[in-house]
Amino acid sequence: MRILILGGDGYLGWPTAMHLTGQGHEVAVVDNYLRRRLCREENVEPLFEVPNLHERVDLWESVSGYKVPVFVGDLSEWDFIAEVFKSFTPEGIVHYAEQPAAPYSMLNRRAATLTLLNNLTVTANVIFAGREFCPDAHIVKIGTMGEYGTPNIDIEEGWLEVEHKGRRQNFLYPRQAGSLYHTTKIMDTDLLWFYVRMWGIRVTDLMQGPVYGLFTDENADMEQLLPFFNYDELFGTVLNRFVVQAVAGYPLTVYGKGEQTRGYLNIKDTLNCVYLSLESPAKPGELRIFNQFTEIFTVNQLAEHVQRVGTGLGMNVEIKPVKNPRKEAEEHYYNPKHTGLLELGLQPHYLTDEVLAEMMEAVLRHKDLIQHGHIYRQVKWA
């Protein structure tokens, strides 16, 4: 299948590109290095340097023999996206091309506006360019479990059948997110759902939880093929951050009560979820939604797990609750369904002590690069 990966330079984009070529797909990647630029601007660059896309593509070809065309440009510009879609005519589109960080979106007005406009414009352009140049292509969109927020009822997989005064209606599950970034993902879903109904486009929306990890089947032997690894408050997800904090001897910063509960997954499972979705595409006129995570943890559980494994490796890992800079429920009901991807064949990689130890050992090799000032910045939600 010809698969175009939008945001192919990102934490998930590049590993996905390698994974899908390894599965026999013809893959091209698109990126404008937005995330690299924002990390540099905010002085929160990833743990180790990552070669640019052209360099990574060359490396991957030298290792695997697979050739991955690169398009560098901004998908929010119509002329650019039109040219890319027209020349590559994808059958599958993996849409990661968004500003991906909740804390960044709450940083200031400029960051909020950039997040809102970039994310919505790219999603709209993907829909319009798809219709014009590859109307049968299947769009696999990375959404987020954060779209649902933390409702007091079970989180179903995308849809909710409501009974009200003796009548019934099936709705897109009502969503209420905890950051502007997550709110733009709600809007993305609404936009995609509208054009699914109007134009019969084919969409899988993957409501993904926070991802952790570095290693995939494709990069394990080659450090230069590893993805970005952000450990800062702006772009680093919580478990990756805690691992770096443990290695750095920086107390694990648990926000508030630490009972915030989310569904997590290993980066290997992300790649497989995207692969499985592409292999069994949504039908024309279908918005298929999967909740994409494998295990549920509280922040306290993650901190304690990192502490236990770190201690076993001889580290001195402290846990330090700090005033929550975010506005969020610190204790809440959380029971999200996630059977769809398991039914498609997902074999989860769970968060074992070994997985955590492997991450810590990888970070240890770069311990001297860790900048303590990156870790805790306290972007306030209000």
Residues that bind its own copies (CB under 8 A): 78, 109, 112-113, 116-117, 120-121, 124, 128, 132, 151-154, 160, 162-165, 167-169, 171-174, 176-177, 180, 183, 186-187, 190-191, 193-194, 197-200, 327, 333, 381-382
Q: With respect to its own copies, which residue has the nearer C-beta, 197 or 365?
A: 197
Categorise residue 333: left if φ over 0, alpha if ψ from -120 to 50, beta otherwise. beta
Q: Which amino acid is at 259?
A: E
* Three-state DSSP state, 359: helix
Q: Which residue has the tokens 């805790």?
A: 376
Q: Which residues contact 58 (CB under 8 A, 6 or more apart)?
A: none
* Smallest separation, CB 343 to its own copies (Å): 21
**Least Å from the CB of residue 17 to its own copies:** 28
Pairing of strands 167-172, 159-164: antiparallel
Cα separation, 359 vs 336, in Å, equals 27
Please identify, using beta-carbon distances, which residue of 284 and 345 lies nearer to its own copies: 284
Rank residues 283 and 382 by Cβ distance to its own copies and give the closer one. Answer: 382
Smallest separation, CB 313 to its own copies (Å)? 39
**Which class for 349: exposed (0-12), middle (13-18), buried (19 or more C-beta within 10 A)?**
middle
From the candidates 66, 96, 148, 181, give the one annotated as an active-site residue: 181
Which of these is catalytic: 16, 21, 115, 144? Answer: 144
Closer by beta carbon to its own copies, 119 or else 292:
119
Determine the Cα–Cα distance for residues 347 and 341; give it in Å rounded to an integer: 9
Count CB-CB contacts under 10 A for residue 166.
Answer: 5
C-beta separation of 178 from 256 below 8 A: no
At a CB cut-off of 8 Å and minimum separation 6, what does 301 contact? none
Catalytic hit among 66, 96, 115, 185: 185
Annotation marks residue 323 as catalytic: no
Nearer to its own copies, 117 or 342 (CB): 117
Query: How near is the Cβ of 56 to its own copies at its closest, in Å?
Result: 32
The distance of closest approach from Cβ of residue 346 to its own copies in the complex, given in angstroms and rounded to an integer, is 25
Residue 181 among the catalytic residues: yes
Residue 185 falls in the annotated catalytic set: yes
Catalytically active residues are 144, 181, 185
